[in-house]
């Protein structure tokens, strides 16, 4: 005799969405709260907002600044919240010569520019892991880039007029991370010389990518360019963060999540 067992479809595991600073999440937490059913779990001095937004079950949190903070947060997202993938949104300094303030960089690969255990290990290589460039998940990065392209096509002219920037462009390539706010022409020039294909510099991405690599969790990183990592960087960063970053993050993440919800 056969027994028909009715099984409930397995609930979808949540997506981890994070940024370093609140402005970099745009209206995401508010949208999640409005959607209803959001609960906030405090763990390791961070607030993890668990719920659903734009049709996707998510855990949304702030990593704060730097590689250790980012690695610790991603580790918690993986172990305490069982996320299926991780997306980071934020701002960065432009390094590539064609990368301008207001442009968007979606990373294909990430590297820690301040990691140097030479001569024991090659420069930039994570000791005992044998990797210097961590790849973003190709499908996640492609969908994030697609959301950025749609955002720029639909809102780019308005953004440029409103913020006095040029028409934003979307770049894809290497993002470099280190525990330094890069804010001098000499330092950004040295990074360009050492890593000619670097497009943007920030302080979290490669740490996130390393943890995700070690645990086999897909990840992707999107960065809006807030400054050009030179002597004007601090002022440009502050203005961009307070006035512009949230508009970009909201526009990009809402498009990305609506697409993610149906696939």
**Which positions lie near ligand SAH, rule CB under 6 A?**
20-21, 65, 90-93, 181-183, 201-204, 226-227, 229, 233, 237
Q: Measure the CA–CA gap between 64 and 122, rounded to whole angstroms.
A: 29
Note if 24 is an active site residue.
yes
**Residue 21 or 160 with smaller CB distance to ligand SAH:** 21
Q: Are 86 and 155 in contact (CB under 8 A)?
A: no
Please provide the distance, in angstroms rounded to a whole number, between the alpha carbons at the two ends of the chain: 38
Q: Catalytic residue, from 24, 103, 187, 202: name it.
A: 24
b (16+ CB within 10 A) / e for 138-153: eebbebbbebbbbbbe
Q: How far is the CB of 66 from ligand SAH (least distance, A)?
A: 7
Pull the structure tokens for residue 135.
């790849």
**Residue 16 or 178 with smaller CB distance to ligand SAH:** 178
Query: Is 27 exposed, middle or buried (CB count within 10 Å of its CB: 0-12, 13-18, 19+)?
Result: middle
Q: How far is the CB of 239 from ligand SAH (least distance, A)?
A: 12
Q: Catalytic residue, from 82, 137, 227, 243: name it.
A: 227
Question: Pairing state of beta strands 46-53 and 198-202?
Answer: unpaired
Note if 227 is an active site residue.
yes
**Residue 50 or 65 with smaller CB distance to ligand SAH:** 65
Q: How far is the CB of 35 from ligand SAH (least distance, A)?
A: 27
Catalytic residues: 24, 227
């Amino acid at each position: 005799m056969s027994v028909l067992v009715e099984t409930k479809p397995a609930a979808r595991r949540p997506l981890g969405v994070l940024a370093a600073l609140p402005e970099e999440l745009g209206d995401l937490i508010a949208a999640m709260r409005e959607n209803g059913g959001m609960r906030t779990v405090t763990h390791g001095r961070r607030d993890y907002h668990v719920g659903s937004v734009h049709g996707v079950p998510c855990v949304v949190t702030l990593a704060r600044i730097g590689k250790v903070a980012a690695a610790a947060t991603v580790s918690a997202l993986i172990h305490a919240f069982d996320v299926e993938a991780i997306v980071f949104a934020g701002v960065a300094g432009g390094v590539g010569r064609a990368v301008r303030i207001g442009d968007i960089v979606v990373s294909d690969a990430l590297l820690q520019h301040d990691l140097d255990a030479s001569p024991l290990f090659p420069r930039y290589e994570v000791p005992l892991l044998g990797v210097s460039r961590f790849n973003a998940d190709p499908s996640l990065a492609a969908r994030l880039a697609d959301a950025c392209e749609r955002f720029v096509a639909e809102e780019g002219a308005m953004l440029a007029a409103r913020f006095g920037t040029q028409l934003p462009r979307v770049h894809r390539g290497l993002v470099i991370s280190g525990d330094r706010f890069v804010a001098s022409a000499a330092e950004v020039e040295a990074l360009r010389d050492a890593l000619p294909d670097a497009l943007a510099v920030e302080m979290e991405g490669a740490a996130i990518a390393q943890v995700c690599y070690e645990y086999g969790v897909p990840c992707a990183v999107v960065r809006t360019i807030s400054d050009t990592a030179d002597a004007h960087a601090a002022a440009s960063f502050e203005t961009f963060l307070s006035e512009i970053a949230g508009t970009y993050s909201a526009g990009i993440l809402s498009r990305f999540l609506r697409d993610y919800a149906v696939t």
